[in-house]
Structure 1
Amino acid sequence: MTDSSSAGKPRLFYSEGSPYARICRMALRERGLGQTVDEAVTTLRDPAAAVLPYNPVGRVPALALPDGTTLTETTLILGWLDGHGGRPGMMPASASGQATYGRVLGLLDGVAVWNRELRRPVSERSPSVIALELARANRVADVLESQAAQGAFSTVDAGFLALAAVLGYAERRHTVWKWREGRPCLDQWFAQASRRAAFCETLPPPSGI
């Protein structure tokens, strides 16, 4: 693989609209690693994408290390970031925390599928896929509402960042999902989370869905 940076610094490739990459970008800021890891925006689904020499899969996030290694996938990159810097790590240590993080990632995966389906021409959309992902999103969000009511997501960790990313994605790029309806605790939690500097500095551009 190509060397990640002429300055010898790790380089995190991201696209501005990716909630997966946003989790890592928020983690960089929460862990105070902004000066030690470069960020590089890339296009996606593009044969000239800047990330392709480092990650032939062409997806983000991708963390290119100075030794030529490239880490892909959000959780692996969070694990690497946890091994650097002096602030508390993002990956939960407890099984319950890991389970919550996985649940939020599952929500994000479903919303991403739903969003991609809506970006197809109307004649090519699958109503059954859309109905499935809507039901999944609401089912998971109801559980997260119950967890938030019991004080979950009070610690800034991977679950916190993933939830901020998926709800932030719904706010600006998947507005068809009315996640606030009947979920006052998530609504209040998101209002507080969205005031954090790491959240404000990584806002994705809005889209028309």
Structure 2
Amino acid sequence: MTTLFYSAGSPYARICRMALREGGLADRVEERETTLRDAAASVLPHNPVGRVPALLLDDGVTLTETTLVLHWLDRMGSTPRMLPQDAHGMAAYGRVLGLLDGIAVWNRELRRPVHERSPGVIALEEARAARVADALEQDVATGAYAQLDAAFLALAAVLGYADRRHTVWRWQEGRPSLAAWFATAAARPAFAETLPPPSGI
């Protein structure tokens, strides 16, 4: 059986876990939680990079990185298809992945001891997140991210991550359209079933 390795705190893996549920593939893919940054992690024999998501196929091939996993889920018959097929959809998906990458860097920096943190990196990523969130506020106000696809799930994952694991970022302030969009997305069962554990940052 195809197996998806994930970590409950990973927003990248969460996108794929929500896609399984939304695409009708939950009964065809086993979800297996793994530790990260651990020499004994169960994912390492299949993905020596040690990152999630990692999709182990029936023939032993392992696909890594969110977009590649979503591509394979589409090939498995996900309904609806998850990866956008047009330029606007791909741009929307890419914008959110860029936001997620920046927040991951920001969050990682804040987890360092205070004397090891880079104020420049923190300021850069905080400004980037605010800039992208302002653009997303305009996007959702004009009807973007309404279709259930990878862009929708990625936006739900990144805002959900900020709410529970990167609370220093007050993304809702001054962005009523984005906050309303998130409230609707958060009501979906796939979102509730994949909530990450809270963190103190």
- Shared fold per TM-score greater than 0.5: yes
Query: Between Structure 1 and Structure 2, how many residues are aligned?
Result: 201
Task: String of CA shifts for 1:47-90, please: whole Å, max 9, x gaps.
Answer: 00000000000000000001010000000000000011351201
The answer to whether structure 1 residue 42 and structure 2 residue 34 are counterparts is: yes
Change beyond 3 A, Cα 1:76–1:176 = same
Residue 123 of structure 1 corresponds to: 115
Three-state SS of the structure 2 residue aligned to 1:39 is strand
- Identity rate, percent: 72
For residues 183-202 of structure 1, the aligned pairs below 5 Å read: 183-202=175-194
Which residue number in structure 2 is paired with residue 69 of structure 1? Answer: 61
How far apart are residue 43 of structure 1 and its match?
0.3
Counterparts of 1:134 and 1:10, CA distance in 2:
38
Name which of 42, 52, 56 aligns with 2:48.
56
Q: Name stretches of at least 5 consecutive residues in structure 1 with no aligned partner.
A: 1-8
Q: Report if aligned partners of 2:92, 2:145 keep a CA contact under 8 Å in 1.
A: no
Cα distance between partner residues in 2 of 1:167 and 1:93: 24
In the alignment, residue 126 of structure 2 is paired with which amino acid?
Answer: L
The aligned amino acid for 1:155 is: Q
Aligned to 1:160: 152
Whole-Å Cα distance in 2 between the matches of residues 181 and 87 of structure 1? 35
Letter in 2 for 1:161: L
The 1-side partners of 2:77 and 2:60 are apart by 21
RMSD: 0.6
Aligned to 1:6: none
Secondary structure of the structure 1 residue equivalent to 2:198: coil
- Please name the residue that 1:79 is paired with: 71
Work out whether 1:133 is the aligned partner of 2:92: no
The correspondence for 1:110, drawn from 98, 102, 118, is 102
**Given the alignment of the two structures, is residue 13 of structure 1 paired with residue 30 of structure 2, yes or no?**
no
Secondary structure of residue in 1 paired with 2:25: coil
SS in 1 for 2:63: strand
Q: TM-score, normalised by structure 2?
A: 0.99
- Alpha-carbon separation, structure 2, partners of 1:165 and 1:124: 28
**2:185/2:191 contact within 8 Å kept:** yes
Post-superposition, which runs of at least 4 consecutive aligned residues in structure 1 deviate over 2 A? none
For 2:96 and 2:194, locate their aligned partners in 1 and report how far apart those are by CA, in whole Å: 19
